[in-house]
A and B are shown apart, each in its own frame.
Chain A
């Protein structure tokens, strides 16, 4: 009966996967934090990873650009393919990987330089750029991060003089400046007030057309407002992964329903 209604759903099958993870396991020493995660991310979508503290969602996020490699005692098994290539294959360079898969953290962490130098930091690590190219990259990235209008007259002031929300948007601009395919965000607004959070949420929705966004959030309203898909983690397992609408209206697993409804007892 409701066929006409279903037709309004966006066709998710059309987008090709950009990241594909297969049977990802991760141990901290002998403690297994990820117990075989299979997840596929499609281009130009926002995916939210949710779950209680210690469920593995942030650990999983960090496997996507090999941030866990830095932690002693970590063992990782399984495959993480970026555009078909295993990022853990021997000889792969994490510096170039992190240009393709950028990361934004919970606490805004600008370098103690000017806004301009923050945004161009990644670019100057790579090949030579002319002043004009850098200027243009700064403007583009700051515009994409929806902070250009607020900082354009003080690009050479310290980024530390900005408000928390502005600092976080400059950090996002810093990631965008190197033109990654995927942007990972680990609770990017949990240290911000609702107004700054809202600005970042709008920005992420606008960025979707150029980037694939994967976001860890404790804020379930945020997941429901901005994401296309939601993955629910519990104790190192992926419990459910589906359209955000399905997760928040008709989840299939009881654990998911209990969590998003706030029934934690």
Chain B
């Protein structure tokens, strides 16, 4: 890989008067033991937009994503410094109830991972644990979230069948439905389509574009065409540093930073 200067960067400023910021990080650093994985990452994510995080393996994009809802807390050697601002609150600070926080900031993973339960139970599992017991309300929630995830028509007659019988793309949309059942503000997705074929990928992409109406979406993807197709903003990560944040249109037509240009052009030297 070529050596790029970490000082050659570009960050598109988002005017807070015109762009409502749903979540942002300020000088975020992530360490695994002695090894620093993220260096001073400062990014802002606009509400009801899709932001794609791109970069090679080891660039830190997934580590960064996971730090946004403190999934790194589960790793003993991990240390995260800096601010993660969500609704004027530093959610990286102490005294944050991460369980509660993740109701607001949900996550969908690379491999579809439905529970080995029925479709219905997959969606109602977390809400029930949070105390929702009313059957009528649960039914309504299942229908709404499955509709939002563009899965309702295909599964409405099989709600009590095992989720594992669904196709990969359907399973992934079920996982998205499960994540949005908690009515989060922000949806984090870590390569949600990389284990899927092009057709399932396409249905997941369409689902995300429709979800953008109600959710702020941050997605890590290795698929650059996917980033180009669905995202509004793109952040390019390189060896733990964010080198460019820009509109997706600019990133794929006239990026400001050479490293970005090389990466999106497949110029891996």
Instruction: Report if A and B touch in the complex (beta carbons < 8 A).
Output: yes
Interface set of A (CB-CB < 8 Å, partner B): 52-53, 163-165, 190, 192-196, 198-199, 218, 220-221, 259, 262, 264
Least CB distance from A195 to B in Å reads 5
Taking CB atoms and an 8 Å cut-off, the chain B residues in 189-206 that contact chain A are 194-195, 197-200, 202-203
Given the known interface contacts A163-B57, A196-B57, A198-B266, the answer about A53 and B222 at a Cβ–Cβ threshold of 8 Å is no
Q: Indicate if the CB atoms of B168 and A53 lie closer than 8 Å.
A: yes
Least CB distance from A141 to B in Å reads 23
CA distance A164 to B194 in the complex (A): 15
Contacting residue for A262 out of B168, B198, B200, B222, CB 8 A: B198
Given the known interface contacts A163-B57, A193-B222, A195-B57, the answer about A218 and B198 at a Cβ–Cβ threshold of 8 Å is yes
List the B side residues contacting A198 at CB < 8 Å: 266, 268
List the A side residues contacting B136 at CB < 8 Å: none
CA distance A11 to B195 in the complex (A): 37
List the B side residues contacting A196 at CB < 8 Å: 57
Q: Indicate if the CB atoms of A195 and B202 lie closer than 8 Å.
A: no
Contacting residue for B56 out of A53, A190, A195, CB 8 A: A195
List the B side residues contacting A199 at CB < 8 Å: 268
Provide a sorted-by-A list of 15 A–B residue pairs whose CB atoms are within 8 angstroms: A52-B199, A53-B200, A163-B57, A164-B57, A193-B57, A194-B224, A194-B268, A195-B1, A195-B57, A198-B266, A199-B268, A259-B198, A264-B199, A264-B202, A264-B203
Least CB distance from A57 to B in Å reads 10
Q: Indicate if the CB atoms of B268 and A221 lie closer than 8 Å.
A: no
List the B side residues contacting A221 at CB < 8 Å: 225
User: In the complex, what residue of chain B is closest to A193 when comparing beta carbons?
Assistant: B57
Given the known interface contacts A218-B198, A262-B202, A264-B202, the answer about A195 and B225 at a Cβ–Cβ threshold of 8 Å is no
User: In the complex, what residue of chain A is closest to B1 when comparing beta carbons?
Assistant: A195
CA distance A52 to B58 in the complex (A): 30
List the B side residues contacting A190 at CB < 8 Å: 194-195
CA distance A243 to B203 in the complex (A): 29
Contacting residue for B199 out of A53, A192, A194, CB 8 A: A53
Given the known interface contacts A194-B268, A198-B268, the answer about A52 and B198 at a Cβ–Cβ threshold of 8 Å is yes
**B161 contacts chain A at the CB level, 8 A cutoff:** no
Per CB-CB distance, the 3 closest pairs between chain A and chain B, nearest first, are: A193-B57, A53-B197, A264-B199
User: In the complex, what residue of chain A is closest to B56 when comparing beta carbons?
Assistant: A195
CA distance A52 to B199 in the complex (A): 7
Q: Indicate if the CB atoms of B56 and A193 lie closer than 8 Å.
A: yes
CA distance A198 to B222 in the complex (A): 12
List the A side residues contacting B197 at CB < 8 Å: 52-53, 218
User: In the complex, what residue of chain A is closest to B194 when comparing beta carbons?
Assistant: A190
Least CB distance from A236 to B in Å reads 16
* Cβ proximity bits B173-195 to A, threshold 8 Å, 1 near / 0 not: 00000000000000000000011
CA distance A190 to B202 in the complex (A): 16
CA distance A246 to B194 in the complex (A): 27
List the A side residues contacting B195 at CB < 8 Å: 190
List the A side residues contacting B198 at CB < 8 Å: 52, 218, 220, 259, 262, 264
List the A side residues contacting B225 at CB < 8 Å: 221
Least CB distance from A51 to B in Å reads 9
**B116 contacts chain A at the CB level, 8 A cutoff:** no
**B154 contacts chain A at the CB level, 8 A cutoff:** no
CA distance A53 to B195 in the complex (A): 11
CA distance A131 to B195 in the complex (A): 41
**B167 contacts chain A at the CB level, 8 A cutoff:** yes
Given the known interface contacts A53-B167, A53-B168, A53-B197, the answer about A194 and B56 at a Cβ–Cβ threshold of 8 Å is yes
User: Told that A194-B263, A264-B198 touch, could you supply 11 new A-B pairs with CB distance under 8 A?
Assistant: A52-B197, A52-B199, A193-B57, A194-B224, A194-B266, A196-B57, A218-B197, A220-B198, A262-B202, A264-B202, A264-B203
User: In the complex, what residue of chain B is closest to A220 when comparing beta carbons?
Assistant: B198
Q: Indicate if the CB atoms of A194 and B222 lie closer than 8 Å.
A: yes
CA distance A252 to B259 in the complex (A): 40
User: In the complex, what residue of chain A is closest to B224 when comparing beta carbons?
Assistant: A194
Least CB distance from A39 to B in Å reads 21
List the B side residues contacting A165 at CB < 8 Å: 57
Least CB distance from A201 to B in Å reads 9
CA distance A221 to B226 in the complex (A): 12
CA distance A163 to B56 in the complex (A): 13
* Cβ proximity bits B141-155 to A, threshold 8 Å, 1 near / 0 not: 000000000000000
Least CB distance from B178 to A in Å reads 22
